[in-house]
Structure 1
Amino acid sequence: MSRFFQHDTPGERTFEPEILFLISAVALNSGNAIAKAQFDTVNPAALAWLRMFGAMVVAVCIAGPRKMRHRNWSRDSLRAAVIFGLSTGLTSTFFYLAIDRLPLGKGVAIEFIGPITVAAILTRSRRNAVALVLAVSGVAILSGVEIDDEPLGVLFILLAATSWAIHIVSGAKVARGHSGIDGLAMSFVFGTLLTVPFGLSDPGAVASHLWLIPLGVLIGTLSSVTSYGIDQKILRTVTVRRYSVLLAMLPIVSSIFGFVVFDQTPTGWDCVGGALIIAGIALQER
């Protein structure tokens, strides 16, 4: 399994980033849907930490102890892993707190402000600018939530968007600094340790529902190890700008999951927003 996370070798079959990202989005939203269904049982912040802990356990087991040794890491690599791990943990925590109050698809759409900002900063050509405008317009239509409806939920999703922007930039550095899952595993170790206070936010629920621990491993495997692992592979082959626009696919996939799992029916305008996002992704330069 660890071979998948390695750099592609000459002559090896590769997949289009859009296909890989679609798989990543399905894995991410599968975990998010499972997590959202547990918010009546456990505090969302505590479940976000269990996801981080579960992801760390799985990633470290795949990477193996030899790759985790300190001497294999430069100071810059460790710094990138710390920032990536912390931003990943904070993104998950704020996102879970937000979707406890907001519909899943609309929460992801608002959170896309983070990737939009990164893409806007890195956009240089007119074609990419038009692609970005299309994607942004689609996300704006998909978000369609009034701040007055749920101000705390919107605050949490904006904090998640900020953390996500940092996650993207630092994740690119981790992806290009290490050739396999070891970079992801080390980041998850730091992320788990640095977000322990969130894990202690609901000890009673975890103690009385021990099945939440293996559930955290499952969610972490889907939403973090699989999804972020694929993202790391993508980031080794495409620019951060293109990756940030590819992330516009997430609100579409999230809206589908919201409809199928939580009966959150998309409107006609939501479909228009999805079409604009797809057009933006198709238009951008490779």
Structure 2
Amino acid sequence: MPSRPGSILDRAPAPVLFVVSGLTQYLGAAIAVGLFAVIAPATIAWLRIIVAAAVLLTWRRPWRAAWTRGTLLTAVAFGVVLAAMNVTFYIAIDHLPLGTAVAIEFLGPVVVAAITGRGRRERAGVVLAALGVVLLASATLRRGGGPDVVLGLVAIGAAAACWAGYILLGRRVAVRGSGVTSLAVAMTAGALVFAPFLAAGAAPVLTDWRLALAVLGVAVLSSVIPYAIEQVVLRRVSAATFAVLLALLPATAAVMGAVVLHQFPTLAEGIGLLAVSGAIALASARSSPQSPTTP
């Protein structure tokens, strides 16, 4: 989403914008956690997808574009993986601290970078990420919670796998068509596929305007604002700068978790977060900047 010349987005330093984007994104996730007592996490994720799809459809009007069968099927597959990534992430943050969940989820992109890059940096990044994930998972298990924590770890593992698929499919979508227009179709497809399983749980939103407004806020904070900011940032930073900024995201999520949800990391979790951040920087340092949008 281009900004007007001379606007605040143009004048602000790119690293500041990136941090603001991350804080906004995870503020939306933190607000979503507060809604889980009323609406199931998976349904909140689905509602967020619905709102984002409506915004993108209104903006891009993809029905005016020419679609081939292959392009359309790729966009649909991308949307299903994107929706699954959001749903599993929201299930995970219902059982895990926000910062821990975000850090573990980054294992997906780090593994993709290692597989596609095959360099020493990428391999070192996988080792460091694995160490960080082990530290985070073991520290979380020691906190207690029993089956709930295990469910959270399984869900965030699934979200990491979906994020890896999202990256691989996202490249195909970007090559085959207009990225944002394809994203509108993808979001719509993901929402429709998950509707039979999750739509019924969204009934309270229809009768409570405050709840509906909160869900809208989650969607705007977690999707619309970060996406708009990132499009400005990614045009202005080098791959090396992008890697460093991307590595800040787990810490950004941990800050939001501490401030909004009072989820304060232990020493072991702090070390795990640092290890994952280092892994992200190593794995991303030679990559071309691309949208880092997370669930």
TM-score (norm. length: structure 1)? 0.78
Q: 1:131 to 1:96 in 2, by over 3 A?
A: closer
Partner of 2:252: 253
Structure 1 residue identity aligned to 2:140: V
2:106 is matched with which residue: 102, 112, 115? 112
Aligned length: 273
Residue pair 1:141, 1:273 contacting (<8 A) in 2 also: yes
Q: How does 1:115-126 map to 2 (within 5 A)?
A: 115-126=109-120
**How big is the shift at 1:70?**
6.0
Partner of 1:141: 135
Partner of 1:219: 218
Q: 1:23 to 1:203 in 2, by over 3 A?
A: closer
What is the rounded CA distance, in whole Å, between the counterparts of 2:165 and 2:280 in structure 1? 22
Structure 1 residue identity aligned to 2:215: G
Structure 1: gaps (5+ residues): 5-11
Q: How does 1:1-286 map to 2 (within 5 A)?
A: 2-3=1-2, 22-63=19-60, 65=61, 68-69=62-63, 71-143=65-137, 144-146=139-141, 148=146, 150-179=149-178, 181-227=180-226, 248-283=247-282, 284-286=285-287
**How big is the shift at 1:51?**
0.3
Residue pair 1:29, 1:253 contacting (<8 A) in 2 also: yes
Partner of 1:8: none
What is the rounded CA distance, in whole Å, between the counterparts of 1:212 and 1:229 in structure 2? 25
**How big is the shift at 1:256?**
1.1
SS of 2:272's partner is helix
Compare 103-112 and 82-91 and name the one that shifted more: 103-112
Structure 2: gaps (5+ residues): 4-9, 288-295
SS of 1:264's partner is coil
What is the rounded CA distance, in whole Å, between the counterparts of 1:208 and 1:184 in structure 2? 30
**How big is the shift at 1:246?**
7.1
What is the rounded CA distance, in whole Å, between the counterparts of 1:108 and 1:185 in structure 2? 25
Residue pair 2:128, 2:278 contacting (<8 A) in 1 also: yes
SS of 1:200's partner is helix
**How big is the shift at 1:258?**
0.8
SS of 1:72's partner is coil
Residue pair 1:97, 1:156 contacting (<8 A) in 2 also: yes
**How big is the shift at 1:125?**
1.5
Structure 2 residue identity aligned to 1:102: L
Partner of 2:6: none
Residue pair 2:132, 2:273 contacting (<8 A) in 1 also: yes
- Identity fraction in percent: 37
What is the rounded CA distance, in whole Å, between the counterparts of 1:232 and 1:73 in structure 2? 24
Show CA shifts across 1:241-278 (max 9, x none). x9899755432221111111111112233333343344
Residue pair 2:2, 2:232 contacting (<8 A) in 1 also: no
Q: 1:60 to 1:105 in 2, by over 3 A?
A: same
Show CA shifts across 1:1-23 (max 9, x none). x336xxxxxxx99x87x777545
Residue pair 2:243, 2:281 contacting (<8 A) in 1 also: no
Q: 1:180 to 1:111 in 2, by over 3 A?
A: closer
